[in-house]
Amino acid sequence: MDLSFLEAPLIIAGITGVFAGVIAILDSIVNNYGTVTLSINGGKKELSVEGGTNLLNTLSSEGIYLPSACGGRGSCGACKCQITSDVGPHLPTETPYLTKEEMKDNIRLSCQIKVKTDLNLQIPDSLFNVKQIKSKVVTIKDVTHDIKEVVFDLQGETIDFVAGMYMQIVVPGYGKIKGSTQRAYSISSNPSDNGMCELLIRLVPGGIATTYVHEHLQQGQEMELIGPFGDFERTMDDTIMVCVAGGSGMAPFKSILFDMLEKGETGREVWYFFGARTLKDFFYMDQMKELEKQWSNFHFIGALSEPQPEDDWDGETGLITDVLDKYLKEKMGDKKKQGFLCGSPGMINACNNVMTDNGITLDQIFYDKFA
């Protein structure tokens, strides 16, 4: 039998095989970085890890979770950390997320840095506290037509957080969305309830995580949470706290205010301005009224920008910034004040302007920078 027709396929297979073999051998030699040491915060923690993967994943496999909203795809710019040893110049994938000052300080996006040699890192100490927790959804409640209050049971785990911090939820792939997505939401529950976690999630049209929570998430379902993160918290002095929020920006203030009440910090004067369009966007009014009753120095000012006739609204109307301006000028006196903001970037900008016009300097205004 003539087998010469096998010659061509065999030659192709042979050549391909030889190259595949060479590549495989080369890969195991070249990409074997061996064990490297990560020295965190000047030797406070030393990790021996396998080199070859990116820093974000290497750290999370060792139980240290840097904040990350995109899961390491380099599209959120959240996983910043300072690398004090030399890892080469900034990559084109990093520069859009870093300011000039950050670049000078060797701040890097950890998801873009491949661990090849021993590294010295600086991360906030609070990140050692971050855990990945398999939680269970206890309740999902509509608080307005587009905001859901979701309560997670941490199933025996606890989170140690300061009121105002946020958690990341890990949304599994669904429908056309491949791979998991992480998004950050401020914790609205009280720090003393550390076996559970309550988040307020507003539906963003087209949003991956919010659509999942609003349309797919079921009671009793398990969900990964990572956190707590963030440095938005109340100061511990005697200034007047001026808090401004809109929509799901209610979350950190609910946590902060009830924490203050519980810890007996009711001597401090607090003004909380909450803005909504119509009454149907307004929520937690009862809880705030209740808080006012128990805490004479607490003032809750709700304002509707477009009150409807059927709302029967007798409170403040207009944009929350105008209401804020009026109160700052007319009702709140000359005592030193501090600003606390949570809402859209546009709202934060506008409030910053109103507050600085009324003598609150920018270093006395606090907010989280995520939208």
Q: Which residue has the tokens 């990559």?
A: 91
Tell me how far CA of residue 134 lies from CA of 152, 226, 366, in angstroms: 10, 9, 31
Candidates 7-15, 183-191, 323-331, 335-343; binding stretch for other proteins (CB under 8 A): 7-15
Candidates 11-19, 68-76, 209-217, 301-309; binding stretch for other proteins (CB under 8 A): 11-19
Interface residue with other proteins among 34, 88, 205, 309 (CB under 8 A) is 88
85 binds other proteins (CB under 8 A): no
Which x/- pattern over 292-331 shows residues binding other proteins (rule: CB under 8 A)? ----------------------------------------
Q: Which residues make beta-bridge pairs with 135?
A: 223
Interface residue with other proteins among 92, 220, 264, 309 (CB under 8 A) is 92
Interface residue with other proteins among 1, 2, 5, 7 (CB under 8 A) is 7
Interface residue with other proteins among 34, 43, 89, 333 (CB under 8 A) is 89
Question: Minimum distance between the CB of residue 218 and other proteins, rounded to whole angstroms?
Answer: 42
CA–CA dist 170, 324 (Å, integer): 36
Question: Which alpha helices (H) appear in the chain, and where do they start and end?
Answer: 7-30, 55-61, 100-104, 208-215, 250-262, 285-294, 320-330, 345-357
Tell me how far CA of residue 71 lies from CA of 96, 98, 130, 177, in angstroms: 17, 18, 16, 14
Residue 92 vs 220, nearer CB to other proteins? 92
Q: Name, in order, each residue with C-beta under 8 angstroms of 88's C-beta and a sequence gap of 6 or more.
A: none
Residue 26 vs 285, nearer CB to other proteins? 26
2 binds other proteins (CB under 8 A): no
Q: Which of 92, 91, 129, 131 is nearest to 113 (CA)?
A: 91
Interface residue with other proteins among 42, 73, 91, 95 (CB under 8 A) is 91
CA–CA dist 248, 251 (Å, integer): 6
6 binds other proteins (CB under 8 A): no
CA–CA dist 143, 136 (Å, integer): 20
Lookup: tokens for 222: 């398990």
Candidates 26-34, 65-73, 148-156, 323-331; binding stretch for other proteins (CB under 8 A): 26-34
Report the alpha-carbon angle 342-279-370, nearest 5: 15
Report the alpha-carbon angle 305-306-312, nearest 5: 110
Interface residue with other proteins among 1, 2, 3, 8 (CB under 8 A) is 8
- With 0-12 / 13-18 / 19 or more C-beta atoms within 10 angstroms meaning exposed / middle / buried, residue 363 is exposed
Question: Minimum distance between the CB of residue 263 and other proteins, rounded to whole angstroms?
Answer: 51
Candidates 25-33, 73-81, 99-107, 130-138; binding stretch for other proteins (CB under 8 A): 25-33
- 149-208 positions binding other proteins, by CB under 8 A: none
- 30-59 positions binding other proteins, by CB under 8 A: 30-31
Candidates 83-91, 179-187, 204-212, 243-251; binding stretch for other proteins (CB under 8 A): 83-91
19 binds other proteins (CB under 8 A): yes
24 binds other proteins (CB under 8 A): no
CA–CA dist 335, 199 (Å, integer): 33
CA–CA dist 233, 246 (Å, integer): 18
Residue 33 vs 174, nearer CB to other proteins? 33
Site residues, other proteins (CB under 8 A): 7-8, 11-12, 15-16, 19-20, 22-23, 26-27, 30-31, 88-89, 91-92, 116
